[in-house]
C-alpha cells in the first residue's frame, strides 16, 4: 500500500497530511479533499478576511438585531457555550479582544488602564445566542474562533477522508493531530511532544491509533520582559497571561475536545488544571513552571488509544 505525505500551510501553521492508499491517484484525491476542507474553514472563520463569518459577526456588535447564523457555525457556537459552562467561564471566545492591548512582538507589557478599557468587552455570558440569531450587545465586542477552529478542521478532514474510504492516515495541523486510522499493519502513530524549553527536542512520545491530540504551551507567541515570560494564553477574567504550566497535551476522541481541554487546563494553572483533567478522565502530559513533568502520558511512548 502506498504511503504518501502532503505538506501544506494553513491557519498560520505548517501542516502535514499522511495517507495510505492503493495508488497515488487515490491519495492525491483524498489530499485535495482534506486540505480543501481545512482551507475552506480557514477562509470561513478567519478574523483577517472581511468576507468571513467571523468578520460579519464582529461587524454586528452593538446591533440589537444581531446576525443570522448558518448551521455549521451554530454547531460551533453550541460547542463554545458548553465549553464555557464546563470550564467555569475560562473558555471564552470573546476574549480575543484582548489582542488590542497585548502585542507579543512589541516587548511591551500593557498598562492596567489599557486592560481596564477592554475587559468590559469580554464575556461570553454577555452575548445572546438563540438559534439562528446571535447578538453581541456591546459595540466593540468580538468573537474569535481561532481558539478551536483548527482542531475542528483536523476532525473534519479526518471525517471526509473516512467517508471516501480512507482507513489509515493522520492529519497534523500545526501540532494538533487527528488520526484517520493506524498504519496498515495496525501499529499506532508515534507522536512526539515538544519540550517547551527545548523546541527541537521531545519530552515524551505518545502512541496514537485513534482520536486526536492537541497541545497548548507558553512557548508559542510569547515574550520575555525584564526576565518574566508572558504567554499568549490570556485569562478572560483578568486579561493577564496565565502562569503555572509551561505546556499541556491532551488526548481525546476528537481533536476539538483535546484542544479545548489543553486551553482550559493552561487557564486553570498547575494544580487546578491537573485536577480538572483527571476529573475528565482524559490522558494528559503536563510540564509546570518548575519543569516538573506529570500526567498519565508522562512515561515515554505510552499507548493513548
pLDDT tens string 131-147: 999 999 999 999 999 99
d(CA 229, CA 240): 12
CB 171 within 8 Å of CB 102: no
Total count of residues recorded for the chain: 305
pLDDT of residue 197: 83
CB atoms within 10 A of CB 32: 11
What is the distance, to the nearest Å, from the Cα of residue 228 to the centroid of all Cα atoms in its chain?
Answer: 25
Would strands 302-303 and 223-225 be described as parallel, antiparallel, or unpaired?
Answer: unpaired
pLDDT of residue 196: 86
pLDDT band at 201 (very low <50, low <70, confident <90, very high): confident
124's grid cell: 461570553
The correct answer on CATH 1.10.3980.10 for the domain covering 53-143 is: yes
d(CA 298, CA 99): 33
b (16+ CB within 10 A) / e for 247-274: bbbbbbebbbbbbbbbbbbbbbbbeebb
Mean pLDDT, all residues of the chain = 94
Please give the radius of gyration of the chain, using alpha carbons only, rounded to the nearest integer: 20
d(CA 261, CA 265): 6
Q: Which CATH architecture has domain 2-40+148-303?
A: Roll (3.10)
pLDDT higher than threshold 80 for residue 300: no
Q: For the chain, where do the domains classified as CATH 1.10.3980.10 start and end?
A: 53-143
Question: pLDDT per residue over 55-64, tens digit each?
Answer: 999 999 999 9
Q: What ranges in the chain are assigned the alpha helix state H?
A: 24-45, 53-59, 71-86, 112-118, 149-163, 255-268, 270-280
Question: pLDDT per residue over 206-261, tens digit each?
Answer: 999 999 999 998 877 889 999 999 999 999 999 999 999 999 999 999 999 999 99
d(CA 16, CA 26): 17
pTM (predicted TM-score): 0.95
CB 216 within 8 Å of CB 196: no
Q: Which residue has the cell 496498515?
A: 184
pLDDT higher than threshold 50 for residue 301: no
Q: For the chain, where do the domains classified as CATH 3.10.520.10 start and end?
A: 2-40+148-303
d(CA 156, CA 281): 24
Amino acid at each position: 500500500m502506498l504511503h504518501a505525505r502532503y505538506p501544506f500551510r494553513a491557519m498560520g501553521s505548517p501542516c502535514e497530511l499522511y495517507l495510505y492508499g492503493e495508488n497515488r491517484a487515490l491519495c492525491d484525491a483524498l489530499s485535495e479533499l482534506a486540505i480543501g476542507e481545512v482551507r475552506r474553514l480557514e477562509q470561513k472563520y478567519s478574523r483577517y478576511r472581511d468576507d468571513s463569518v467571523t468578520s460579519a459577526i464582529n461587524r454586528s456588535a452593538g446591533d440589537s438585531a444581531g446576525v443570522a447564523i448558518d448551521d455549521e457555525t451554530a454547531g460551533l457556537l453550541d460547542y463554545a457555550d458548553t465549553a464555557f459552562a464546563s470550564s467555569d467561564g475560562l473558555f471564552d471566545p470573546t476574549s480575543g479582544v484582548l489582542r488590542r492591548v497585548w502585542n507579543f512582538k512589541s516587548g511591551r507589557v500593557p498598562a492596567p488602564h489599557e486592560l481596564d478599557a477592554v475587559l468590559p468587552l469580554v464575556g461570553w455570558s454577555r452575548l445572546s445566542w438563540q438559534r439562528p440569531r446571535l447578538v453581541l450587545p456591546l459595540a466593540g465586542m468580538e468573537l474569535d474562533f481561532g481558539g478551536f477552529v483548527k482542531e475542528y478542521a483536523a476532525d473534519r478532514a479526518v471525517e471526509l477522508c473516512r467517508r471516501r474510504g480512507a482507513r489509515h492516515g493522520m492529519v497534523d495541523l500545526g501540532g494538533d493531530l487527528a488520526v484517520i486510522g493506524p498504519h496498515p499493519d495496525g501499529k499506532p502513530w508515534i507522536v512526539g511532544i515538544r519540550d517547551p524549553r527545548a523546541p527541537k527536542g521531545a519530552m515524551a512520545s505518545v502512541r496514537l491509533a485513534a482520536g486526536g491530540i492537541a497541545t497548548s504551551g507558553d512557548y508559542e507567541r510569547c515574550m520575555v520582559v525584564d526576565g518574566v515570560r508572558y504567554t499568549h494564553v490570556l485569562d478572560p477574567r483578568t486579561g493577564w497571561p496565565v502562569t503555572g504550566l509551561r505546556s499541556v497535551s491532551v488526548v481525546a476522541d476528537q481533536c476539538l475536545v483535546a484542544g479545548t481541554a489543553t486551553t482550559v487546563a493552561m487557564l486553570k494553572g498547575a494544580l487546578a488544571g491537573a485536577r480538572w483533567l483527571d476529573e475528565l478522565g482524559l490522558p494528559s502530559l503536563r510540564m509546570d513552571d518548575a519543569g516538573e513533568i506529570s500526567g498519565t502520558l508522562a512515561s515515554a511512548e505510552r499507548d493513548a488509544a
